[in-house]
């Protein structure tokens, strides 16, 4: 391919017009006046003056100050000599290699940690003594909105019967102790909170058609305590938050953000299934019907804000109802929980002004 160019030999100030011949591995210039070959440069030695914005200027690494002014646009030059297209620096070009490797390894370790965190914390949580959980994590759910409503003697008797009918049931129940109360929240729900604190919401107590609903949902919540799901979730959130703080240098109060995280987040699908199965086992062991949990799930208000419900927020709710119903089986040989009428009525009025 031939092009016009002006060749400066680096010694004489005036240039000479040349016919430029571009071969696969070299470029050469023949004087238009004398046909003398003035230079042959290897393409691998070519260098482009990136500061030249008007006409392309080329040098050879082996030809000193000699230069070529090529009579062609920059785009045109690049189509003949594509190796001269300036490379835009990559984002990581100026980062030392060792930093890149170190940074990538850190990201991999953090991602790996986060991915396996759920499994690790559930194993660790089951090894933590319940007394430790109560002492160090129990305070997280003290105070509003998780302050228990005050209760009349009759309402307390009803709560005692509900909890007492299914706990303690197993010898291992001696390892933890539970407190049950009602919190002044209108949405229908129940919670297991750190340190063995169990709570029905006012909305749930008022909407439950019979004690079977309350005891079945409570049995599910007890399983969350028994299997240390609450502890595991707190550890997981604390670790995630610490990682986040490392990167953001944030100084949010850990206790308060943990509490909000606990309320906002839900247990994993695996943990819910474990709690459902154990909840049914506990009820049957106590000779009680378990179908209240599936009935509660079916009736649950879908408008409940996600952050308040670890029941409704499961996308697999229908599937869950199906296996709960199947696992509960034919419950004709099990009883419904009996609570004297006066105590049931007192419980229904709980948290009323
Ligand atoms: Zn649950």
Distance 325 CA to ligand 1 centre (A): 16
Residue 260 pLDDT greater than 60, yes or no: no
Residue 256 pLDDT greater than 60, yes or no: no
Q: How far apart are CA 285 and CA 190, in angstroms?
A: 22
What pLDDT score does 174 carry? 93
Distance 143 CA to ligand 1 centre (A): 22
Largest CA distance in the chain: 121
Tell me: do 183 and 289 sit in the same domain. Answer: yes
What pLDDT score does 1 carry? 59
Distance 165 CA to ligand 1 centre (A): 20
Residue 260, token pair as written in the block: 């909000």
In order, the DSSP letters of 158-203 are HHHHHHHTTSS-SGGGGG---EEEEES--S--EEEEGGGEEEEEHH
Q: For residue 115, is it within any domain? A: no
Q: What is the pLDDT of residues 94-113, one digit of tens each?
A: 777 888 888 888 888 877 87
What pLDDT score does 312 carry? 45
Final residue before a domain boundary, out of 55, 84, 113: 84
Distance 311 CA to ligand 1 centre (A): 6
Residue 302, token pair as written in the block: 């879908």
Distance 97 CA to ligand 1 centre (A): 48
Tell me: do 181 and 228 sit in the same domain. Answer: yes
Residue 172 pLDDT greater than 90, yes or no: yes
Distance 174 CA to ligand 1 centre (A): 22
Distance 217 CA to ligand 1 centre (A): 9
Q: For residue 252, is it within any domain? A: yes
Q: For residue 111, is it within any domain? A: no
Tell me: do 35 and 130 sit in the same domain. Answer: no
Q: Which residue in the block uniquely carries the two structure tokens 């691998």?
A: 44
Region 64-77 average pLDDT: 82
Residues for the chain: how many in total? 353
Instruction: Give CA separation, 233 vs 192, 227, 229, in Å.
Output: 12, 11, 6
- State which residues form the domain around 11: 2-84
Q: Indicate the average pLDDT of the chain.
A: 84
Tell me: do 79 and 149 sit in the same domain. Answer: no
Tell me: do 50 and 188 sit in the same domain. Answer: no
Distance 272 CA to ligand 1 centre (A): 5
Tell me: do 169 and 305 sit in the same domain. Answer: yes
Distance 282 CA to ligand 1 centre (A): 15
Q: For residue 187, is it within any domain? A: yes
Angle between helical axes of 229-248 and 97-125 (0-180°, round to 10): 160
Can you state the percent helix, strand and coil of the chain, rounding each to 5? Answer: 50, 15, 35
Q: How far apart are CA 179 and CA 51, in angstroms?
A: 78
Tell me: do 324 and 278 sit in the same domain. Answer: yes
pTM, to two decimals: 0.65
Q: For residue 199, is it within any domain? A: yes
78-87, 140-149, 276-285: range with highest mean pLDDT: 276-285
Residues around the ion ligand 1 (C-beta < 5 A): 272, 275
Distance 243 CA to ligand 1 centre (A): 26
Q: What is the pLDDT of residues 24-41, one digit of tens each?
A: 899 999 998 898 999 999
Q: For residue 96, is it within any domain? A: no
Q: For residue 94, is it within any domain? A: no
Q: How far apart are CA 232 and CA 174, in angstroms?
A: 20
Q: Which of 7, 48, 1 is nearest to 24 (CA)?
A: 1
Instruction: Name the DSSP class of 148.
Output: B
Q: What is the pLDDT of residues 309-324, one digit of tens each?
A: 555 445 577 888 888 9
Reduce the DSSP state of residue 334 to 3 states and report it.
coil
164, 222 contact by CB (below 8 A): no
Please name every residue paired with 2 in a beta bridge, in sequence order, or none if there are none: 21
Residue 146 pLDDT greater than 60, yes or no: yes
86, 94 contact by CB (below 8 A): no
Q: For residue 108, is it within any domain? A: no
Final residue before a domain boundary, out of 37, 69, 84: 84
Tell me: do 335 and 270 sit in the same domain. Answer: yes
Radius of gyration of the chain (CA): 38
Tell me: do 211 and 157 sit in the same domain. Answer: yes
Q: How many domains does the chain have?
A: 2
Distance 310 CA to ligand 1 centre (A): 6
Residue 299, token pair as written in the block: 């009736």
Tell me: do 57 and 137 sit in the same domain. Answer: no
Distance 128 CA to ligand 1 centre (A): 20
Tell me: do 260 and 154 sit in the same domain. Answer: yes
Tell me: do 167 and 274 sit in the same domain. Answer: yes
Distance 65 CA to ligand 1 centre (A): 79
- Lowest mean pLDDT segment, chosen from 65-69, 173-177, 226-230, 265-269: 265-269
């Amino acid at each position: 391919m031939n092009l016009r160019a002006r060749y400066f030999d680096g010694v004489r100030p005036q240039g000479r017009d040349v016919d430029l011949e571009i071969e696969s591995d070299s470029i050469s210039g023949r004087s238009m006046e004398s046909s003398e070959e003035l230079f042959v440069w290897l393409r691998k030695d070519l260098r482009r003056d990136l500061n030249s914005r008007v006409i392309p200027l080329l040098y050879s690494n082996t030809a000193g100050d000699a230069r070529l002014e090529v009579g062609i646009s920059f785009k045109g030059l690049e189509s003949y000599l594509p190796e001269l297209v300036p490379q835009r620096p990559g984002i990581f070009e100026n980062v030392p290699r060792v930093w890149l490797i170190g940074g990538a390894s850190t990201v991999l370790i953090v991602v790996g940690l986060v991915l396996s965190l759920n499994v690790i914390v559930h194993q660790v949580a089951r090894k933590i003594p319940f007394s430790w959980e109560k002492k160090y994590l129990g305070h997280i759910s003290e105070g509003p909105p998780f302050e228990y409503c005050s209760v009349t003697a009759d309402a307390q008797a009803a709560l005692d019967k509900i909890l007492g009918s299914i706990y303690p049931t197993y010898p291992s129940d001696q390892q933890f102790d539970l407190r049950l109360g009602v919190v002044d929240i209108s949405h229908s729900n129940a919670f297991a909170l750190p340190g063995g604190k169990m709570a029905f919401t006012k909305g749930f107590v008022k909407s439950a058609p019979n004690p079977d609903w309350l005891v079945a949902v409570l049995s599910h919540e007890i399983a969350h305590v028994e299997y240390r799901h609450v502890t595991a979730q707190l550890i997981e959130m604390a670790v995630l938050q610490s990682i986040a703080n490392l990167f953001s240098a944030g100084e949010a109060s850990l206790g308060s953000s943990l509490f909000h995280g606990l309320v906002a987040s839900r247990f994993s699908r695996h943990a819910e299934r474990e709690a459902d199965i154990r909840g049914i086992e506990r009820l049957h062991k106590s000779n009680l019907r378990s179908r209240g949990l599936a009935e509660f799930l079916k009736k649950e208000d879908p408008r409940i804000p996600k952050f308040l419900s670890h029941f409704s927020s499961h996308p697999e709710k229908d599937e869950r109802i199906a296996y709960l119903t199947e696992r509960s089986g034919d419950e004709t040989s099990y009883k419904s929980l009996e609570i004297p009428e006066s105590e049931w009525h007192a419980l229904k009025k709980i948290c009323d002004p």
